[in-house]
Structure 1
Amino acid sequence: MSATRYLPFAGRLLLGLPFAMSGFGKLAAYSATVGMITAVGLPLPPLAYAVAVAVELGGGLLLIAGYQTRYVAAALAIFSLATAFSFHNNFADQNQMIHFLKNVMITGGLLQIVAFGAGALSFDSRRNGNAVGSRQAAAA
């Protein structure tokens, strides 16, 4: 078996796990998270909290599993850019600039998944009946 069979799963795991862990962490820190959302001036902090938990925890787990991967990766990419601009926009602070650029880099990786699909080791691949992945199944 070639590395191309396993690398997409490794990429999804390395991108999805931090999202899932962050979402899970937010479940244990409702007040602190809502406070941070309030501090940056986003509307409806409790709703924003619920969306953040759903996107991070749910999206991270779905990305790892490779289920509806292109849609999930697109949603996580949008979320990553939104959080970069909403929470890490103080470019005078080097730490915030690093976090901003980290989110931009994560978005780039997620867009690769949007473009090329989940790969062979995924629910998407099993659902399409193709051992190579959803991108190749769509092209056939």
Structure 2
Amino acid sequence: MANSAHIAHPTTTEQNRSDVTQASASLIGRVLLSVIFILSGFSKLAAPAMMIGYIGSVGLPFPQLALALAVVVEIAGGLALILGFRARAVASVLALFSVFTALAFHSALADQNQFIHFFKNIAMAGGLLQVVAFGAGRFSLDARRR
């Protein structure tokens, strides 16, 4: 009679492979989510006067302060998300930021370009909420702190 302990249970090797795959997918997902924030933050630094004008054109108060805040959120938040540092809190902030910017800057949904940007931001918020729900994964600073 065969040992039934191995039947219907993944082997340790299979489980380890699955764990590494999941941790790798989590890291790659965080990197891909972060890239747009980091690039956007640096592009704002490259053309601050234009961005201040754009922020002011949508009626937000204190456009210089809003620009500085956006740059910090995008660059610091993007880097923290890649590293998996306080990933759930960072992903929450970035998700709220994405929804806010969709509503403030891309709400002219009759314009096809704005329609695409609006729903891109909403989709990014959805991806970030996955990080909020499931954490940063094994390949993160959060996992090292436990």
1:104 correspondence with 2:122: yes
Aligned match for 1:76, one of 85, 94, 108: 94
Paired with 1:36 and 1:94, the residues of 2 have a C-alpha distance of 19
1:53 correspondence with 2:71: yes
Superposition misfits of 4+ residues, deviation over 2 angstroms: none
Question: Once the two structures are superposed, what CA deviation does each residue of 1:90-135 show, in whole Å capped at 9, x if it has no partner?
Answer: 011011011100000000000010010000100000111xxxxxxx
Paired with 1:17 and 1:96, the residues of 2 have a C-alpha distance of 20
RMSD: 0.7
Aligned match for 1:23, one of 27, 41, 56: 41
Paired with 1:5 and 1:76, the residues of 2 have a C-alpha distance of 21
Question: Once the two structures are superposed, what CA deviation does each residue of 1:46-94 show, in whole Å capped at 9, x if it has no partner?
Answer: 0100110000011001000100100000000000000000000001101
The DSSP-based 3-state class of the residue aligned with 1:119 is coil
Residue matched to 1:85? 103
Paired with 2:49 and 2:119, the residues of 1 have a C-alpha distance of 27
Aligned match for 2:82, one of 53, 64, 70: 64
- Identity %, equivalent residues: 54
Deviation at 1:29, TM superposition (A): 1.1
Residue matched to 1:127? 145
Deviation at 1:27, TM superposition (A): 1.1
Aligned match for 1:4, one of 17, 22, 25: 22
Residue matched to 1:34? 52
Paired with 2:35 and 2:80, the residues of 1 have a C-alpha distance of 10
TM-score by length of 2: 0.86
Paired with 1:63 and 1:20, the residues of 2 have a C-alpha distance of 10
Paired with 1:112 and 1:121, the residues of 2 have a C-alpha distance of 16
TM-score by length of 1: 0.89
Unpaired runs of 5+ in structure 2?
A: 1-16
Unpaired runs of 5+ in structure 1?
A: 129-140
Larger Rg: 2
Aligned match for 1:44, one of 62, 68, 74: 62
